[in-house]
Structure 1
Amino acid sequence: MCNKLIWFTAASSLYFSTAIKAETPQVDVQAAYHMPLASKSLLTDIISVAGKKLVAVGERGHILVSQDGTNWLQADVPVQANFNSVYFANEQQGWAVGHDATIVATHDGGVTWQLQHYKPETDKPLFDVYFVNEQKGMALGAYGMFLRTDDGGNSWHKHFHDELLLEEDQQYLAELKQTDPELYQIESEALLPHFNRVYADGNVLYMVGEAGFAAKSLDFGDSWQRLDEFYNGSLFDLIRTPQMALMAAGLRGHVFVSEDQGQSWQQVMLDENATLNSVFADEAGTIYLVGNAGTLLISRNTGDSFTDRSLADGKAIVNGLVWNKQLILVTETGIKTVNLSELN
């Protein structure tokens, strides 16, 4: 989820060598280099695949796979774009998205990856990816960029969800569409906020983003309802807590909770004011907030209060998960592992 660190992460430089097929005119790119210290470089997202392995993604096309959370192998990746998010639909099929509207896919559990979508000319990053099943998926990112596939990513199609615009912007675009189609096209790619995160809550999808943006879909993202704004800053992550509340986190230590499916939100007051990049929970019901400056906050009382267990090195934590009694974090300096017993 490196959208939270979008200004922290520099876009990858483009090199030209091996021809690849994409949904644009033929573009030449260079595969990611295999680096011995890739597990110590900027990593932005991590996922457990069926509880059997971990896959992490990060800068310069780095995708790492581990069977034990300690030893990491770098996968073969055909592009050097910075990745922001990774998602697996099953043990074998996964996707990662990132800068230059890049989408790569794997069909062998993350060992090798193929390029499905790449548009460096847009100069827009994708921030998150989610698949309803092995065929139907979506990728979303900057300025309302929303891509959809119904064939496992063999083809990706751009969708413009005008229902997510503010009412005045909807009226403005409706007039432009009639009077100035060229300007309409330009404006339609700039008026929507950044879509930072999509979260599947059973059959309902939630999305959060820039400037307090939040939305809800009851049909797996085919249409959306924009929720009333409850915060004027960016939101970077959203989960359903073990206590069945929605929790959103974002800029300057802001955390909000909703107990009515996103219709109203209450702020959780924290002493920490660092930007929070991700929120996640474990099977024991513990909630974790991670963010910049080494921020690690833990709640074992339904999110009513948090204990500060921030890392002393002060390096940004982008995301994490609990796996085999360990807290595994992806940070600006790579993988960091903390035994849960050390957090008691």
Structure 2
Amino acid sequence: MKAVQVTGYGDIDKLEVVERPIPVPKKNEVLVQVKACAINNTEIWMREGAYGKDEKSGWRPEGVQFPRIPGSDIAGTIVKVGHDVDRSLIGKDVVLFPFTSSGESGSEHISEDMSFIGSEYDGGYAEYVVWPADLCFEMPLPTYTESSVFSVSGLTAWHMVEQIQIKPGETVMVTGANGGVGSLNVQIASKVFGAKVIAIVGDLALEEKMKELGATHVLSYKCDQLAEEIIKVNGGPIDSVLDVVGDALFSTSLKVLKNGGKFCTSGSSGGQKTELDFRTLYLKHITMYGSVLGTREEYKRLLQAISEGKITPVIEKTFPLEQAKEAQTYFKNAGKLGKIVLLP
């Protein structure tokens, strides 16, 4: 099969198109023919070494074993099954829950042995991938491309919203609102949980589209007095922040939160380190959450909301698999809206 593998930590020159044997499903596994694989920050940061220290990166402390086929947002068709798997699954169109774990239901995402497809396992930058049969779920939408864009960013966004326990009518600020996780945070918070959303983007040309996704107000992070503008449009401090930016908007986020407000982060595209005056945290009674991925039950609720049309795919562009370098480069451009998808 054709695949794109990462040969080591570094720039896009560490991505190479290769021919690899088609993997064979083992006991309780299935072979999935990959029809679409959306790109996430996850595989780019894994390649760049941004998750780890001392050139170790990935979801496990020992780092990634190279070469590795990246890719975790996968939609495709089951074409072969391993031992102890029902053969009636052959021909089923599925999306893949993106990690394995021995953790109990509700805490599998924080288990020490959580292992991620595309980091600890070969992933979806390929024509075929093997995965446990019980981690394959019915495709929520009619097309592979649309169905492929939710697994990692959608699960992360859904878990963020559930963590901060958004209530109808509350105001939530979403940073990086035009990105993969951010655009889903906007939809989930507003259309599923009934919150008012202030979407923070770079380019206000995206305002109309963000409002279509459910945003009540759209502001640019380039605004000179952003904190004051947020409080003005909301008529006072806000209830919660869903953040994927990190340092660049951290002080603003704490400034606009009400007493007892909640801050939840799942990314740091605008800076991985920040300064925190603890007095702000305790005097305002702010609760902080670190968040990434989620549980199987949350994934099921996400897929149900997608199939009901409450959450819609937001896709910026597709690339053929062979152009993975170009696709990852494009992914890092500012101003895009939604997901980038590789098509084997």
Q: Same fold (TM over 0.5)?
A: no
More RCO (CA 8 Å, sep 6+)? 2
Relative to total residues, which structure has the larger strand share, 1 or 2?
1
Higher helix share: 2
User: Scaled by the length of structure 2, what TM-score is found?
Assistant: 0.31
TM-score (norm 1): 0.31
